Amino acid sequence: MVGERYRLCERLAAGGVGEVWRAEDTALDRTVAVKMLRPEHAESEEYRERLRLEARHLAALSHPRLAEVYDYGDGREDQRPYLVMELIDGEPLSAVLARARTLPPRRVVEIVAQAAEGLACVHAAALVHRDMKPANLLIRPDGSVKITDFGIARGPETLRLTRTGEVIGTPLYLAPEQAAGYGVTPAGDLYSLGVIAWECLAGRPPFQSDDVLAVAIAHRDRPVPLLPDSVPEPVRALVEALTAKDPAARPDAVAVAEWARRLRDDPAVAAAPPGPVLAVEEEPSPAGDTAEVPASPHRRALLLGVGAVAAAALTGASGWALRSPSAVRSARAQTGGAPSARPRRTVTVDPTDYYGHRLDSVVKALQRLGLRVSVRHQVVPGRSSGTVVGLTPSGEMAVGTTVTVYAARTLTTPSAPHRTTRAASRTGGSAEPTRTVVHRPAPPGKAKAKAGEPKGKAKGKRRKHGKD
């Protein structure tokens, strides 16, 4: 029994910190899920506080895409702290992917739409989930989606639980700003959702390696690889927008839900079959050394504590740390190890110095450093065409190394007619608006700018003719 009310029946999942049980609510005669701390962690004030905050966060939210909380016990009277929740009949998306590997694009955008609806409710309550991943999305038999596990969700009252420089999350789905040690915002949840969508379409996460540090650094510095051409272009555009390196370039949860619902009704998306599983490309260790990760001075003491969650609705306990170069050198001195040889002529590139700048200026700056530059373009809605959104490799490298710069490009989408049609219907006008183009001749005696020529240049010519 948990307290005098809940009878534990079957353990459903267990992790390093907690466990989830199917239980009977003897007072209301219903089946529930009980999440409780493991005995060895039941006395930890930090874990007890996290469970209490999870209960408060869930109690403050009410949405069909979120698991409902019923009760909470603080663990007094020799009881372990526990959280009583809605028992969801379904399986984690991670289990679905383990069986099917890839999903049809229409099913993927449906999952994205529902998850974004839930995140919109979470973000409206000034909360950030911080651990969006397939294991935390439960798929019910009717296809509906439920977001679970708010054990590391962040709200104003959780600031004291996160140590300076600590980042919590799962490396495979970690947002770039989380990997860099910056503050966590709702945009981080949307990046993780984009990575989930990428995995559903490609059959694997975008970055994989036995070294979790290399995966996190890849998310920080490298654009997510392009999806195959078999994925419809509108779906690829949505995923690329969600996984933009710049948090400001990502659409918010409300916009994502609307975007994904439109794609769900697109005939081309509905007809697309599941794609093949992409071959795994092992991520190289950053800068050729998994321990020494070049970083800007204000991040050299960064400590990344990444808590991995073992199962849906369950807080995990595993973690890993990224040590600064100075700490690594100190450890090598203690063990008698010698640092690896470095090329004589090297330069150091911090990709954050170039994000958001114009492509031509970035190319010139890198060439002045003695580097070769290769340019690739990606569709990033919300970013001006020609704006740099990614750069790889980064860190210390030899002069003459080829650096790939990723720049945003514009994608023509049919979204504008949707907005115009809605506006027309509200005013009682036609559902198909008519556009009239009027060509007016230039006034006599005034020079006309050549096609494609900036207006300022044309004005300059007119002043010159006037002097003649």
Q: What distance in Å separates the CA atoms of residue 140 and residue 220, rounded to the nearest whole number?
A: 33
Q: What distance in Å separates the CA atoms of residue 180 and residue 429, rounded to the nearest whole number?
A: 50
Neighbours of 375 (CB within 10 A): 14
- Is 131 noted as a catalytic residue in this protein? yes
**293, 299, 302, 306: CA torsion to nearest 10:** -80
Q: How far is CA 128 from CA 155, 183, 198, 244, in A?
A: 7, 11, 21, 18
- Token pair for 413: 């989408």
- Token pair for 350: 């911090």
Q: What distance in Å separates the CA atoms of residue 215 and residue 262, rounded to the nearest whole number?
A: 32
Q: Considering only CA atoms, which of 218, 208, 227 is closest in space to residue 393?
A: 218
Place of tokens 């002097």: 467
Buried b (16+ CB within 10 A) or exposed e, 116-140: bbbbbbbbeeebbbbbbbbbbbbbe
**Active-site position among 25, 29, 89, 131:** 131
- Name the residues annotated as catalytic: 131
